[in-house]
Amino acid sequence: MGFLKNLFQKSDLNANQSEPSKEEIAAAGEFYMPLKGKIVPITEVPDPVFSQKMMGDGFAIIPENDVVRSPVDGKITNIFPTKHAISLESNEGREILIHVGLETVSLKGEGFTVLTKDGSNVKKGDKLLQVDFPGIAGKVPSTITSVVITNLGNGEHVVIENNKVSIVS
């Protein structure tokens, strides 16, 4: 198995090393979770687009709060017109999709308040969306929120361990 890497930082680490360095361990903890809640593997999302990794690898969060925050320092590349999803690019070049709930596109923006702008530079923890999860819960199959990295390199995949998310090569 390769090394744990910062989720949104590309690295050219030697795959033959046996343990990650202290710097890599520290970097792995720098990813800011976009929502508070239970982290689950992307394969557990009850939608094949996500669970079969058609858009990329990632993870999901069963939300416990109502504010979606930026997981990385970077730039907003797209706010979907229906406000249910936001795309970002990290300063390291990772492309990230945060998709709130399942079939939430059908709500046409109801229950979502955008707190940023397309093209804005963001820092880890900046507020992106406010979501009325109780208000949308009965209108969609699930409020599970997928976080997908759409441009992983060859051999890279997402690993969840001890409630932390990392990329392994």
| Structural contact between residues 30 and 94, judged by C-beta atoms closer than 8 angstroms | no
Query: What residues are annotated to the active site?
Result: 99
Name the more confident of 110 and 13.
110
Q: Which of 1, 14, 3 is nearest to 166 (CA)?
A: 3
Task: Find the range with the poorest average confidence among 15-19, 108-112, 165-169.
Answer: 15-19
Per-residue pLDDT, averaged over 4-8, amounts to 43
Sorted by sequence, the CB contacts under 8 Å of residue 106 that are 6+ apart come out as: 139, 140
d(CA 60, CA 41): 6
pLDDT tens, position by position, 28-80: 445 689 999 999 999 999 999 999 999 999 999 999 999 999 999 999 999 99
Assign domain 35-155 to its CATH architecture: Distorted Sandwich (2.70)
pLDDT tens, position by position, 114-153: 999 999 999 999 999 999 999 999 999 999 999 999 999 8
- What b/e readout covers 53-89, taking b as 16+ CB neighbours within 10 angstroms? beebbbbbbebeebebbbbbbbbbeebbeebbbbbbb
Q: What is the pTM of this model?
A: 0.83
Residue 30 has a pLDDT of 53
